[in-house]
Chains A and B, each alone.
Chain A
Amino acid sequence: MLTIRRDLVEAMVAHARRDHPDEACGVLAGPEGSDRPERFIPMLNAARSPTFYEFDSADLLKLYREMAANDEVPVVIYHSHTATEAYPSRTDAKIAQEPYAHYVLISTREPDSHELRSFRIVEGVITEEPVEVVESYRFAHTGPDDVPEQ
Chain B
Amino acid sequence: MAVTVSIPTILRTHTGGEKSVLAAGSTVAEVIDDLEANHGGLKSRLVKDGTLHRFVNIYVNDEDVRFAGGLAAKVADGDNVTILPAVAGGAR
Contact = CB atoms under 8 A, between A and B. Distances in A.
Contacts of B9: 73, 98-100
B76 interface: no
Interface string B53-92: 0010101001010100000000000000010111111111
B91 A82 contact: yes
Interface stretch (A8-16, A83-91, A132-140, A142-150): A83-91
Nearest to A88: B89
B86 A89 contact: no
B63 to A, nearest CB: 9
Interface string A49-80: 11111110110110010000000011001010
Interface of A: 23, 25, 27, 43, 47, 49-55, 57-58, 60-61, 64, 73-74, 77, 79, 81-84, 88-89, 91-92, 95-100
Given A52-B92, A61-B84, A89-B92, 17 more contacts: A51-B90, A51-B91, A51-B92, A52-B91, A53-B88, A55-B86, A57-B64, A60-B84, A60-B87, A61-B64, A88-B89, A89-B89, A91-B89, A91-B91, A92-B89, A95-B88, A97-B86
